[in-house]
Amino acid sequence: MSHFADAWRHHPTHRKVWALAAPMILSNISVPLVALVDSAVVGHLPHAHQLGAVAVGSTLYTLMIGVLGFLRMGTTGFAAQAAGRADGGALRQVLLQGLGLALLLALALGLLAVPFSGFALGLMTPSAELDQLTREFFHLRLLGLPAALANYALVGWFLGTQNARAPLAILLGTNLVNITLVLGFVIGLDWGVAGAAKAAVLAEWCGAAIGLALARGALRRHPGRIASGVLRRWSNWRPLLMVNRDIFIRSLALQLVFFLLTVQGARLGDATVAANALLLNGLLVTAYALDGLAHAVEALCGHAIGAGDRAGLRRALLVSGAWSLLASLGFALFFLLAGGLFIDLQSDIPVVREVAHVYLPYLALLPLVAVWSYLLDGLFIGATRAREMRDAMLLAVALSLPLGWGLQFLGNHGLWLAFLAFMAIRGLSLGALAWRLHRRDAWFATGHG
């Protein structure tokens, strides 16, 4: 308890946490805000399958790019540790490696996307209308794939350098363009579901342009140069690729859970999959806001590990953890007291509203259950300990999938109970691994990648 009291009284840590977290919370909130605006705009079109198409198509696209979230997470950890060592050459190397991987993976993923969407929709057995509109939306979204992956690498690199203003500019720029265009395309030009997809694509390319322009200026503040031939040697790629491999497996398992949630919801009917999408928008708001504090943990803990600062690592984790708990309590109260209004603002389709209102208590519980996994992910990312993140995620999936199968007789209630269990197991597993590393004083060990 004395460690917590000492950390809480350390005002410079509070300032560092909020200097990073506040801009990231603002920029992160803009991401689910886009989903909310898309749902609100398309949700006021006359048919449930139109909202369902945006929900399912967005889930498929998010699944594909979500499994490549290591482009952000791996880049953040290595950039943070390079910044802690004041190594400008290593920072340049991490940035170029991240952008190079983004382009190569965009090409590979683009080749797999169309057959993947056909397979996924076959599992869902949607109505003919939902199937057709979902394919149209998803195929259009693929045009933004290279920009979306480049943005992952750019945002991760900026966070590692403890520069939260650049990600704020990238994400706010991307999402404000998206909101403006979706209103113009769907309502003004009456382009329907296709208009929402086109708006997202143009916005992603705007974000990439902003990020590249800001990176050029940021490099001037970190003098250094890459040694000749460093990018041609496998030994200089191996640590990043090994960390990215484990984060990829972890991200794939996480996206599988969201995919199965959508598949099972679609099997329960158009109204149910649409209602679940509205509820998951609430989870997105919570997750992206709390991730702002987790991003502060990534940068500050990675910097402390790079500098060998044990006291700084402890303070950053404790202060960020306390603020994360307070924020999660605020979100839980909001959804408990104003969840009905949150749903009704997104859609005026009576059957979708009715279904969503039934499951609001699960949304109110989610922030309190999920906050710990967000926070601890930040610690492991900053430490570039992706293997432990992978193992915790695989354990959570392995234990919650049989539970979800066994609760099918409860319909959508069983689906949400299994999802809550998954988030709880994930947080507990990460906590146990973090405590074991602490007891072994292993956070500052080298050669663990």
Residue with tokens 């007891």: 439
Q: Which residue has the tokens 């994930």?
A: 426
Place of tokens 């498929």: 60
Residue with tokens 């946490």: 17
Distance of alpha carbon 215 from the chain centroid: 22
The residue written with tokens 């689910």 in the block is 32
CA atoms within 13 A on the CB side of 349: 26
Q: Which two structure tokens, joined as six digits, stand for 333?
A: 């109260």
CA separation for the pair 99, 360 (Å, rounded)? 40
Q: Is the pTM of this model over 0.95?
A: no
Q: Which residue has the tokens 């605020």?
A: 330
**Alpha carbon distances (Å) from 59 to 137, 150, 218, 255, 315:** 11, 20, 34, 9, 37
One pLDDT digit (tens) per residue for the chain, 449 residues? 566 777 777 788 888 888 878 877 776 665 556 666 666 776 666 566 666 677 777 777 777 776 777 777 778 877 877 777 777 777 888 888 888 888 888 888 888 877 877 777 776 666 677 777 777 888 888 888 899 888 888 988 888 887 878 888 888 888 889 888 888 887 778 777 778 888 888 988 999 999 999 988 878 877 767 766 666 666 667 776 777 788 788 878 887 888 788 777 777 777 887 888 888 888 888 887 888 888 788 878 877 887 777 888 888 888 888 999 999 999 999 999 998 888 888 777 788 888 889 999 999 999 999 999 999 988 888 887 888 889 999 999 999 989 988 888 898 899 899 999 999 999 999 999 999 988 887 777 654 54
Q: What does the block give as tokens for 334?
A: 């909001």
Grouping H, G, I as helix, E, B as strand and the rest as coil, residue 222 is coil
CB 278 within 8 A of CB 347: yes
- The CA distances from residue 386 to 73, 312, 365, 444, in Å, are 9, 21, 28, 14
Residue found by looking up tokens 């099997």 in the block: 267
**Between 48-66 and 350-358, two packed helices, what is the crossing angle to 10 degrees?**
50
